Structure 1
């Protein structure tokens, strides 16, 4: 799973998906202390009007957002994990070794990502009328009658 989540090295997330981490996080902190403080301040500025502009978003990988590489894992090690589920992989003892390995060795990430995608591609495949290819990955297709 840690390798598959590495797909976040490309793409973006809408501010609403992580706003709870950058605005009024707790009584003692405006933002999640797991964030790099400079990163958190930049996200707060970027997403300041996200409720009025729901399309506001940030790159999942701030350094190489259009390149499939291992920078995403290096970012996690430096408090630059945009989503809480991403950042949690660095603090969980079960997943941290994988994050560290993929951050240090891009080839290891590529190899494990490829193998994981192959396994996932055949897992409980739905065929014919049992399945539906989504037009947008974040929404179910509307039923056509």
Structure 2
């Protein structure tokens, strides 16, 4: 192959495989809203001071948004003519953090009206929320635009539920070009935040219609969970910590919890308790090295934020994240 032909082939491959991210840039708002990061951080710092779950709420919204139609802010839309909100899908019912997004949007509109997208707010606030509680920082690429519609049916099928098998999770992550490392690293976001009883109580009494608890739950941890979420109790509004040891810090204790069979959700514990799975070695690696976890988590978050963004003239920049302009 001639050198000239080689260059042409390389440029072609770059144009094909790099096109989805070509317009995302860490300096996208350098001239149009140079203080965007400081403004988002200011709101997150204030919110975090009164709500320790702020970062966990935002990163969940970002993840759920990106897994449905890409990172386009579609999750933030309320019901409207022609729009069936994704908020009504089971994976999103009761999700918090929408008010935080509203506050950030208001602050940005006061300084840079009509410039910063809601999709970019989720990406930026996720990084800041993690860093504020001891987690890693990463370079957030920006330039996403907001969708003009929502996809409730996609929210029903594309977002992993806490009741799924590891094979089901592999399929859903694989659909987004994510592998086992991404599954384990991003699951590590459960090192902070809370979960309702309804997301795990099926493990406590009658797992898989067996009449018995999930055998992968530590026998000393089980009574604690059964006390928090009693069988037949009204547990709809009851929350407990995803990480029982350091629930409000971003660290690698989530992975030592899995080693001790103290993962809260079925999808958590299966990462370590599925015989022969390649995820076991990854859990062990992160449990022994917080540095490695932080490095891989940052990489996976960048990868997550690059899922099918709207760029250029696609979509719009919403002035209110809950509705199209």
TM-score (norm. length: structure 1): 0.82
Residues 78-134 of structure 1: CA deviation (Å, up to 9, x unaligned) = 0101011110000232211100000000000000001111111112113564899xx
Partner of 1:12: 194
SS of aligned partner of 1:88: helix
Aligned positions of 1:34-53 closer than 5 A: 34-48=216-230, 51-53=233-235
- 1: distance between equivalents of 2:234 and 2:199? 15
Seen in structure 2, the aligned counterparts of structure 1 residues 96 and 53 have a Cα distance that, compared at 3 Å, is closer
Partner of 1:138: none
SS of aligned partner of 1:100: helix
- 2: distance between equivalents of 1:124 and 1:131? 16
Aligned positions of 1:49-88 closer than 5 A: 51-88=233-270
1:117 partnered with 2:295: no
TM-score (norm. length: structure 2): 0.38
Larger Rg: 2
SS of aligned partner of 1:13: strand
Residues 67-87 of structure 1: CA deviation (Å, up to 9, x unaligned) = 000000000000101011110
Q: Which 5+ residue runs of structure 2 have no aligned equivalent?
A: 1-182
- 1: distance between equivalents of 2:317 and 2:290? 34
Q: Which 5+ residue runs of structure 1 have no aligned equivalent?
A: 136-140
- 1: distance between equivalents of 2:231 and 2:193? 21
Q: Are the aligned partners of 1:15 and 1:50 in contact in 2 as well (CA < 8 Å)?
A: no
Further displaced range: 117-126 or 74-83: 117-126
Partner of 2:290: 106
Q: Over aligned residues, Cα RMSD in angstroms?
A: 2.5
Q: Which stretches of structure 1, 4 residues or longer, exceed 4 Å deviation after superposition?
A: none
- 1: distance between equivalents of 2:316 and 2:216? 42
- 2: distance between equivalents of 1:131 and 1:73? 39
Shift of 1:51: 4.7
Residues 35-89 of structure 1: CA deviation (Å, up to 9, x unaligned) = 0111111100111177524110111100000000000000000010101111000
Shift of 1:14: 0.5
Seen in structure 2, the aligned counterparts of structure 1 residues 120 and 44 have a Cα distance that, compared at 3 Å, is same
- 2: distance between equivalents of 1:24 and 1:49? 10
Q: Are the aligned partners of 1:16 and 1:50 in contact in 2 as well (CA < 8 Å)?
A: no
